[in-house]
Structures are given as C-alpha cells and as structure tokens.
Amino acid sequence: MASKNLIEIKDVSFSYGKRLILSGINMTIAQGQVVALMGISGSGKTTLLRLIGGVMRPTSGEVWVNGVCTNDLDQAGLYQLRRQMGMLFQFGALFTDLSVFDNVAFQLREHTQLPEAMIRDLVMMKLHAVGLRGAHQLMPAALSGGMARRVALARAIALDPMLMLYDEPFTGLDPISLGAIAQLVRQFNDTLGTTSLLVTHDVAEALDVVDDVYYLADGKMLAHGSPQAMRAHTNPVVRQFVYGEIDGPVAAQYPVGDFATALKLRKQCAA
Amino acid sequence: MLHRLSSSVSALGAQVIDMVLRLGYATRFMLLTLRQSTTCLMRPSLIVRELYYTGTLSMVIILVSGLFVGMVLALQGYQTLVTYGSESVLGVLVALSLVRELGPVIAALLFASRAGSAMTAEIGLMKATEQLAAMEMMAVDPIARVVAPRFWAGLLSMPLLAALFSAMGIFGGYIVGVVLIGVDEGSFWSQMQSAVDVREDILNGVIKSVVFGIAITWIALFEGYDAPPTAEGVSGATTRTVVTSSLAVLGLDFILTSFMFRGV
C-alpha cells in the first residue's frame, strides 16, 4: 500500500512585490521519507521551506501539510500545526541566554505540563541521542559549530515531531560533524517515524541519506527523482550542480557588461 | 529648478509617510504586546528574570549618579541660598528638585542608555541569529515570550530606580550640606519634611517615572524587534533607542510638568 502524502504543494507561486521567487511548484512528500530539496543559492529553496512551515503564504497555489491547507490558517491554527513540526536552522539558532539543557527543555516546558523530573529524563535522552549528554550544562557560546547543530537537532526533536524541516543543516561543518549530522537525520527519521525535508546544496552527503530529491532552479522545479536518478540525470544544469562543475549553463559570474569596454580599452585599441 | 524643488518636496513627503507608517506599526506592536501579556502575567518568573536584567543591573549606575547629582545640587544650592541667608531650606531645594524633576528624568535617561540599549541589542541579535524565528517555528509567540516580560519589567523597574536615585541624591545632599558644609541637620530634615507633599510631589514624580518607563521600554523593544537582521541594523537600532527615548523623556517631561505643576 502506498504511504500517505504528508506534504502536498499544488501549483505554488510566490513573489516579493514584483519579484517572482517561485513559480508553479508542485511537490509531494510521502510519510516516512527523507527528501532533499536542492538547488544553487537563490533558487528559492528556503522560501519553499518557509511556505511549508507557514512562515510565509504563497501568492497563489496551495500548501497542504498532514491534510491541512496552511494558506488560510490563523496564528492559532499555524501554532497547532507547528507543534507537530521540528526545524533545524542553518546555524542552529540556539537561545544564547539558555544552557544546552534548557534549550532542549524549552518546548517541553512551553507546551507540556510534564514534571521537571520527567523533563530532565527526556532532555537527557535527546542529548544522549546526539552524543552530547555530557554537554548539558554548557552555554551555547561554549559549543563548536557541529555541537551547536547537534544540540539544535536535539531541541527540534524534543516533542517527537511528525515532520522535520532542515535548513542547510550541513553548512560550515567539518567533515566529521557533517557525516554525524547526516547520519542523525536518517537515524531519527527511521526510529521516530518522522518525515524529513532537507534544504541543502551539499550533494554528496545528502544523496547518501535521502530517498528522493527535488531540484529547484530559478524558482521552478527542474528535476525530481531518486538519488541514483539525479546522479545519472541528463539535464546539463542538474549535472553541473550534482558534479560541481565550473563550466556549464549556470555561470558563476554575476551578469555584467564587457570588461574591456568598461575600462574603455576597445576605444583606445580602435584609435 | 522646478524639478529639483518637486523632487525635494516628494522626498520630504516620502519621509513623512514613512514616519507615520512606522508610528502606526509601533502602536500596533504595543497593542499586540499588551494583548499577549497574559502569558507572562500568569508566569511571573519570566518578569522576575527580566527585572534582574533591567532593574537590578541598572542599580549601580543609578545609585552612583544619584549620589553625585545630590552632592552637586547641595553645593550649587548652598552657594545661592547663603546669599539670601536661606541655607536652612537647602534640604527642601535638594528634595524637591530630585523628587519632582531630576530623579525621574535623569534616572530615565540613564535607564534608556543602560537597559534600553541592552534590550534593543539583545532582541535585535535574537532576530539576526534566527532565535525569534526558531521560537515561532516551535509554536511559541516571541511577543508573548520575549517582548511582553521585558515590557512589564521595564515598566516596574523605572519608578523603583527613580525612587532610589532620589533617595541617594538626598543622601548626597545631606553629606555635602550637613556633614561637609555644616548646615543645621534639624532644619535640613524638618524643612524638607514639611515642604515635600506626598501627592503633589512624590506621586507626580512616580507618575512621571511610570510614563518614562513605558516610553523607553516601548521604544527599545520596538527598535529591537524591527531592526534589520545585520550588524549595522542592530547598531543603528541601538543608537535610535538611546536618541529617541532620551528625546521622548525630555519632551514628555515638559508636557507632564506643565499639567502637574500649573498652579504652583
């Protein structure tokens, strides 16, 4: 039996004023899957993630999460939905005035009436799962980038969410931390029965742990398929991205006029 | 010429529209803060924690400044009063100046520069480092959890700090006037006791400091929440907090004083 779609994005477009960011996006994520949303910087990945989280509303189209259309939800409805979501921000976004323990306990204290002894046990279990039980007394300023990301991951899964959103979880990490985070993403998804959406441009790590990949380019969904399919994709834009080639249809340089003309060299040569 | 004039007028108009929009946005922010205050009023520990940061940590600067201001007031006051042989009312001069005017105003200016700027910088940085966005994603309203407790803490701290400033100033005036210069101690205290009215002077001073507390905290919180999430944005917001709230305190002081002490 096919599993239910946890996320359905139907013909979604989004623009900031007159600037079109996303256009005609369609996407489905089945329950239990780990899906990567890839694309170069500025392609609209984070915007799409924010639309799913209800942080922004689409200009047109519909975003459905767990059978609920987020377009028309008020703040109370959104908060109700977000209690079932976890989000890992690019640099962790830990609360700098709270210790590691209090960061992980934050949602438990805000949304549940659990006794402090039980909160302590739950927090220690989550920290143990990310390998940082021994760091529970530290303040965020004392953590390395990789540790901060793992604490943020423990905080995001504190309430065992049905959906995990990862915004560039691998950015700026050393190879060991990066591998550890990638494995944790897969492990939590499988053991907690979560569904995960990763916004990333770290191809190698992401393709190793995900079930499905969507590729965004210039606000449009350019490709979709399994990691193997993406590796063998024939579209030159996708190939250039997957294999990190410098030469290809996507130019590294920002569009600009001829440099020689800008330096007035052409006129002098002609003279 | 006509074109330049027209573009200048249009730029001025745009600035005025921007200012009115911002004022509207700030008012909406304030109303939202009041509406979302139930969370922190039900959990006083959130306010107590902020009282420590805004109130307790501002005490040193308030007490030291109050002492010096009181000492200077006594010195200057004595120089003038002694000319008319009225040095016995030195206590009245020091107390009334502090309780009615200098206590609330200087304490508010110091509060704006120490606690107000800290509030703006903290909230601005929380926004820049996505801590507020993370809170939103955890279904916790940042206005209820971060802004409202700070607002109530600021509102409660300000009158207490102003009272401490005035008390310390009177003590400074006593040290200079009575202990160092030698004004009669009995007349210093008794004249003060008979001249300072609880309702006319002390209560009006308290009302002033409450109004200043609301204004400063509102400006500081709004500037932090509205700050562009960059280093430059946060530094600009912090500067605006100090400048705007200092001007607001002085402007409000004039308005309040003109209403309170009309008949005196």
Q: Tens digit of pLDDT for each residue in B55-80?
A: 999 999 999 999 999 999 999 999 99
**Domain assignment present for A65:** yes
pLDDT band at residue A117 using 50, 70 and 90 as cut-offs = very high
Residue B68 to chain A, least CA–CA distance (Å)? 34
CB contact under 8 A, A89 and B138: no
pTM of the model: 0.86
Structure confidence at residue B229 (pLDDT): 92
Question: Quick one: average pLDDT of A239-248?
Answer: 81
**Domain assignment present for A252:** no
Structure confidence at residue A233 (pLDDT): 86
Question: Quick one: average pLDDT of B169-173?
Answer: 96
**Domain assignment present for B161:** yes
Structure confidence at residue A266 (pLDDT): 67
CB contact under 8 A, A89 and B133: yes
Distance CA B213, CA A142 (A): 35
Task: Nearest by CB to B129, from A53, A75, A93: name it.
Answer: A93
Structure confidence at residue A241 (pLDDT): 86
Question: Quick one: average pLDDT of A218-246?
Answer: 87
**Domain assignment present for A269:** no
Query: Residue A63 belongs to what domain range?
Result: 5-233
Structure confidence at residue B208 (pLDDT): 95
CATH number of the domain where residue A227 is located: 3.40.50.300
Residue B188 has pLDDT above 50, yes or no: yes
Residue B29 has pLDDT above 90, yes or no: yes
Structure confidence at residue B165 (pLDDT): 97
Residue B264 has pLDDT above 60, yes or no: no
Choosing among B53, B126, B138, B145, which should be mutated to test the A contact, i.e. which has the most A CBs within 10 A? B138
Residue A3 has pLDDT above 80, yes or no: no
Residue B144 to chain A, least CA–CA distance (Å)? 12
Choosing among B131, B136, B137, B141, which should be mutated to test the A contact, i.e. which has the most A CBs within 10 A? B137
Describe the strand order of the beta sheet including A212-217 as a list of residue ranges: A85-88, A163-167, A195-199, A34-38, A212-217, A220-225
User: How many structural domains is chain B composed of?
Assistant: 1
Among A153-157, B12-16, B36-40, B215-219, where is mean pLDDT lowest? B36-40
Choosing among A56, A70, A95, A104, which should be mutated to test the B contact, i.e. which has the most B CBs within 10 A? A95
pLDDT in tens, A27-59: 999 999 999 999 888 888 989 999 999 888 999
Structure confidence at residue B118 (pLDDT): 95
CB contact under 8 A, A82 and B133: no
Q: Tell me the percentage of chain B whose pLDDT exceeds 90.
A: 87
Nearest by Cα to A238 from A257, A214, A206 = A214
**Domain assignment present for A268:** no
Question: Quick one: average pLDDT of A175-202?
Answer: 88
The most confident of the ranges A12-26, A70-84, B56-70 is B56-70
CB contact under 8 A, A82 and B141: no
CB contact under 8 A, B133 and A94: no
Residue B247 has pLDDT above 60, yes or no: yes
**Domain assignment present for A267:** no
Q: Over the range B178-204, which residues count as b (16 or more CB within 10 Å of their CB) and which as e?
A: beeeebeeebbeebbeeebeeebbbeb
Query: Residue B212 belongs to what domain range?
Result: 46-259
Task: Nearest by CB to A110, from B130, B137, B140: name it.
Answer: B140
CB contact under 8 A, B130 and A91: yes
Q: Give the chain A residue nearest B43 (alpha carbons).
A: A110
Nearest by Cα to B194 from B64, B96, B58 = B96
CB contact under 8 A, B137 and A55: yes
pLDDT band at residue A1 using 50, 70 and 90 as cut-offs = very low
Q: What is the ipTM of this complex?
A: 0.85
Question: Quick one: average pLDDT of A194-213?
Answer: 90
Q: Residue type at A181?
A: I
Structure confidence at residue B26 (pLDDT): 94
Q: Work out how many CB contacts closer than 8 A connect A with B.
A: 49
Structure confidence at residue A249 (pLDDT): 77
Distance CA A44, CA A58 (A): 12
Instruction: Give Cα B169 distance to the centre of its chain.
Output: 17
Describe the strand order of the beta sheet including A5-16 as a list of residue ranges: A19-30, A5-16, A60-65, A68-69
Residue B263 has pLDDT above 60, yes or no: no
User: How many structural domains is chain A composed of?
Assistant: 1
Question: Quick one: average pLDDT of A178-189?
Answer: 88
**Domain assignment present for B143:** yes
Structure confidence at residue B262 (pLDDT): 66
